[in-house]
Chain A
Amino acid sequence: MNNLRMYQLLGRARKGLNLIIVGTYTMKASGLCAPAAAFLIILIRWLGWPGANFLGWLFLTGCGCLAGLAIGLGYKRWDEAAVARWLDARFGFQDAITAALICIRRGCSGPLDQGIVERAQLVSADCLPIKWPLSRFYRQTIQAALLIGVSVLALTLIPSRLKFHSPTAKVSSQITDNSESQLESRPTQPEMAPLTPGEIAKMLFSHHPQLMIQAEKAVMAGDMESLRSLLRKAMKNPEPEYLDRTFTASRQNLFKDLQDGQLIQNLISAESMEDFRQIVVQNQVQQSQHPETKGQDRDQPARELAQRQSKSKPGSGKTPQNNGNHLENQRPEPDQLRGLGTYAYNSALPGQEKGTQKGFTTRIIPQTGSSKKPVILVNKGGFFEYLLPGKDAQVPLAGVLPEAAQASEQALFTRRAPAEYADFTRSYFLKLSQSIAGSPPESEGKP
């Protein structure tokens, strides 16, 4: 009687079977976790939350794989009795191995135990080599491989399409279809629209009317020292409660930019400043004659400046349009556009009266052929808006909007833009897209 041979057989079978079980569970868990992780990553990216990328999917899938490994190692491992029963069932030994194991464990104390062990040794010679039950393992492996492949494919393909179906750019695909014929050649150099002194003053001191007026005058006068003193004064005052930290942080960044005065100098050229002064003098005279209109549109000098600059260059093909009730801004010439991106801010913040306190309204006119059509109405909500650097507002909106939407989504995704503005940003681009989609398509050719 050689019990060692029996234990060797059981040990070898146990090792192989447990390996198969562990592998099967690992493959099963990986196959389940891979699509789940891919779905999660895609959902997160669709929602615009940060931290969702291929590495995240890899991490989650790896966690699932490890979980399956742990289950296989700890929970489902077979003991010798189970292996003996498997061998009996597998080879039709009529429970000879199981009975022999029982006899060996009890020291062969029974009168028939030796006969049982001898028979087990006889029949165990037939189970070499063992044909391992790998079908389930293969099936799980194939399923896992397919699911992982599909997940990788989905992660590769869906996010690029995701922006066309996400709330941020739901209508962007429609715009793209109609906008190819409207695209103009874009300037290679970044071009920025200047800010009017009134806009700068609004941005800096929107909640301090007195400081805002003083800042507007300081900007128009080019008195940077006065502007800095006003800034220091404003920094000492506490912010209103309804301004969240994002707004405060944004304005502090702007403070930093304005501290060296470079931004003002970049935004407002010396020639424009002289024109501003003239317009302001004219407006002051008009306001003194019509006191009821005082303070309703303090950006009018800037817009008149823009009109004047446009009229002074008749060959540019960028003719402003005045519909009477609204002043319209038009982009200046590229040589006047430089510097950083354009900030626009409306003083009608949430919680304030939107109807009575009108905000600054800008209408950008596309220049495609001879037709002129307002394509963008901005600053209805009263938030900071960032027009992308290098994007000329005179380029048709349909050509800019998808890229802008993508850039804003990317900014939200990478937390360069506050996550609190995600909903607003999406709704903003959605409204713009709807307004463009609702307008009749351009029939004219490119200029």
Chain B
Amino acid sequence: MSDYVTELTERDQISQGYLRALRQNIERLNRLREQIGSVIAGQTEMIDLAITALLCEGHVLLEGVPGLGKTLMVRTLADSLALKFSRIQFTPDLLPADITGTIIAAQEENNRLGLRLRFEPGPIFANLVLADEINRASPKTQSALLEAMQEQAVTAQGQRHPLPRPFQVLATQNPLEMEGTYPLPEAQVDRFLFKILVKHPSEAELITIINRTVGAETPQVGSVMEAEELNSLQRAVREVLVPPHVAAYAARLTLATQPEQAQAIPAVRKYVRYGAGPRGAQALILAGKARALTQGRFNACVEDVQQVAAPALRHRIAINFDGLMEGVKVDSLLQEIIQNLPVEITPDRI
């Protein structure tokens, strides 16, 4: 009996210590958000989603016109986290080896004559990778990047080279000037956790941007979180509790995006060519967990799933020709789906 009590007490103490450390990391995360916000005016949704994706170890596809602060945000994020940052500007002549790395013959130290082949890591070997204008690279290069994103490793000459942890790719693409680009295939877009639409800043935000950027001093950020602390948070995200009805809601929400499913609303049946798959449901739950943790909760709720539904599912839903002709937006469809999908809070509402 006393052993059991002792075990319980020890477990309680361990748990309390873990929770205390976790709460401190969450506090740091809030400071990180504030720090990025001090550099980038507005774009709070983009910052929150980028941090959420970072906690999920998910990759982000940023879509927006040039000059909205995408690159600055990623660089600020890397500086704040004291993470290794690299930027790859995608061009049509970019080769896969330019990203992943290549085998070179290098002279070993203490041996003047002997040459040895070794793997020279590419720019993808960083914690935060900004793949700028990813749709301008050839499909071969895109595939090399996306394969590395998925596998979290690069294989060269039969040797596997794991990527550093944490690892996150933030790819950008320009919705304009689509000529000469290679749009990402649906199968590859599906590997991004979020697709964030970077919006134009408002008037107040624009004024703030002007004041911050055209002066003599530019805002500087310091490191607020180490990589280990980020890894701890990433592990904690996986521990966040998801009640069964939340998981069921996420599953129903995913199925509701598929036109052939019973849960699909008429608009989905009419305008959607195909909907989100299992990766969509995984993204919903994982992002919901991360969002709950960033808010200091250790359990996900339906509201979390609803909040991350648009960035997690919008790039997994393909509009058919009728929808394109009528200008149907995926976000409006998702909004309609969420409004019509019952939460089923209780078995019998009273």
Contact = CB atoms under 8 A, between A and B. Distances in A.
Interface of A: 17, 20-21, 24, 76, 78, 82, 85-86, 88-89, 94-96, 98-99, 102-103, 108, 110-116, 119, 133, 136-137
B243 A111 contact: no
Query: Can you list the 5 inter-chain pairs with the closest CB atoms, starting with the nearest?
Result: A99-B299, A95-B301, A112-B298, A94-B301, A89-B345
19 contacts: A76-B348, A78-B347, A78-B348, A82-B346, A82-B347, A86-B345, A88-B301, A94-B299, A95-B243, A95-B300, A96-B299, A112-B236, A112-B241, A112-B298, A113-B241, A113-B298, A114-B19, A116-B298, A119-B297
Interface residues of B, number: 28
A89 B245 CA distance: 12
Contact of A119 (B12, B298, B304): B298
B319 to A, nearest CB: 33
Given A78-B347, A112-B236, A114-B12, 12 more contacts: A78-B348, A95-B300, A96-B297, A98-B245, A111-B236, A112-B239, A112-B241, A113-B15, A114-B16, A114-B19, A115-B22, A137-B350
Contacts of A78: 346-348
Nearest to A1: B12
Given A95-B246, A99-B241, A17 B350 contact: yes
Given A21-B348, A86-B346, A114-B16, A98 B298 contact: no
Contacts of A137: 350
A95 B299 contact: yes
Contacts of B18: 111
Interface of A is mostly: helix
Contacts of B345: 85-86, 88-89
A203 B200 CA distance: 109
A110 B12 CA distance: 11
Nearest to A89: B345
B302 interface: yes
Q: Name the residue in A24, A78, A95, A137 with the highest tally of chain B Cβ atoms < 10 Å from its Cβ.
A: A95
B350 A24 contact: yes
A21 B346 CA distance: 12
A22 B65 CA distance: 59
B16 to A, nearest CB: 7
Given A98-B243, A103-B241, A111-B15, A116 B347 contact: no
Contacts of A102: 241, 243
Given A82-B347, A85-B345, A133-B350, A112 B301 contact: no
A142 to B, nearest CB: 16
Given A89-B345, A99-B299, A115-B298, A20 B350 contact: yes
B303 interface: yes
B216 to A, nearest CB: 45
Contacts of B348: 21, 76, 78
B153 interface: no
Nearest to B235: A111
Q: Name the residue in A24, A116, A136 with the highest tally of chain B Cβ atoms < 10 Å from its Cβ.
A: A116
Contacts of B297: 94, 96, 119
A136 B241 contact: no
B240 interface: yes
A110 B297 CA distance: 14
B156 to A, nearest CB: 38
B252 to A, nearest CB: 16
B350 A112 contact: no
A429 B248 CA distance: 70
Q: Name the residue in B292, B300, B348 with the highest tally of chain A Cβ atoms < 10 Å from its Cβ.
A: B348
B346 A85 contact: yes
